[in-house]
Structure 1
Amino acid sequence: MKKVLVSACLLGNKVRYDAGSLSVEHAVLAKWQAEGRLVSVCPEVDAGMSIPRRPAEIFQGQGASVLNGEADVIEKDGDIVSDYFTKGASIALALCEKLNIEVAILAESSPSCGSSFIYDGSFTGNRIAGEGVTAALLRQHGIQVFSQHEIADVCQLIEAAGE
């Protein structure tokens, strides 16, 4: 059975910057969790960041530009936390490689996990098209990344593969 990497906050774990979660109630996720198919990850916490922590956004770039050293992840007070985000992305990738994971469902808009949208770095709530650091690194290594809004697509993908 193929495993699926999932943002821990989507599974109800209170790991977000505000000590909250983004619980997703979806029959497919519940079924996969019962089957032991899901592998939970929170890149920020796994890299050593605290719960709660200050909000962070990618400033003048996207996940790939953080990985390339061309942009930074900054906290609302201006502290640069890019190293935590790149370390967390590497931890998530290592999990995928160890467990032969080819698909991830990650929390949209996160500076780590956003797969289609991230915040613009101004801390004003403005979202832009783009991806977070973990989403970018996973995609660079051939892992298909989806958001919590695309679970039906993941289900079709897995069913098509006979899993």
Structure 2
Amino acid sequence: MNVLISACLLGVNCRYDGKGMFIKRANALKDKYHLVPVCPEIFGGLKIPREPAEIIGDRVITKNGEDVSENYKRGAEEVLKLAKFYNCKLAILKERSPSCGYGKIYDGTFSGKVIDGNGVTAEVLVENGVKVIGESEIETIS
């Protein structure tokens, strides 16, 4: 089975702070699934490193006030293209991200507070029938 996964979870240095976050379970996952690494922020044209961004209302705004909503939308559409091409029915995405977060995202105050909600890419994938989980839920997949 083909599974989308946030590239940063495989240690790729593509997060907003220019770092990756290798998850130990990735080695076991790659033995069972064909992992398709994605980074919607890069696909949407954002640089590494980049200013942190959070969802405020229906927009994605950086900490310094720049509206990067279109970059996030473009990145989500590119990830959806890959999901369709590879027939991915599951995505493992970085939790709390304004792009990849599923179920919980930062609240838009840049204070670390978390609220219910989905990131832009997570929402697009769910709307198109892809099951999304965060990295803390990896143990739930068989």
Q: Give runs of ≥4 in structure 1 deviating > 4 Å.
A: none
**Larger relative strand fraction:** 2
Q: Which runs of 5+ in 2 are unaligned?
A: none
Measured in 2, the distance between the counterparts of 1:104 and 1:16 equals: 17
Q: Which runs of 5+ in 1 are unaligned?
A: 61-70, 157-163
Instruction: Give the alignment of 1:1-163 within 5 angstroms.
Output: 2-26=1-25, 29-34=26-31, 37-60=34-57, 71-154=58-141, 156=142
- Listed one character per residue, the Cα deviations across residues 72-97 of structure 1 (whole Å, up to 9, x for unaligned) are 00000111000000011001110000
- Higher Rg of the two aligned structures: 1
Q: Could you tell me whether the CA contact under 8 Å between 2:3 and 2:33 is conserved in 1?
A: no
Measured in 1, the distance between the counterparts of 2:21 and 2:73 equals: 22
Specify the code of the residue in structure 2 equivalent to 1:18: D
TM-score, normalised with respect to structure 1: 0.84
Measured in 2, the distance between the counterparts of 1:72 and 1:130 equals: 13
Measured in 1, the distance between the counterparts of 2:101 and 2:78 equals: 16
Measured in 1, the distance between the counterparts of 2:42 and 2:122 equals: 16
What percent identity do the matched residue pairs reach?
44
Measured in 2, the distance between the counterparts of 1:121 and 1:83 equals: 17
TM-score, normalised with respect to structure 2: 0.96
RMSD over equivalenced CA pairs, Å: 1.2
Give the count of matched residue pairs.
142
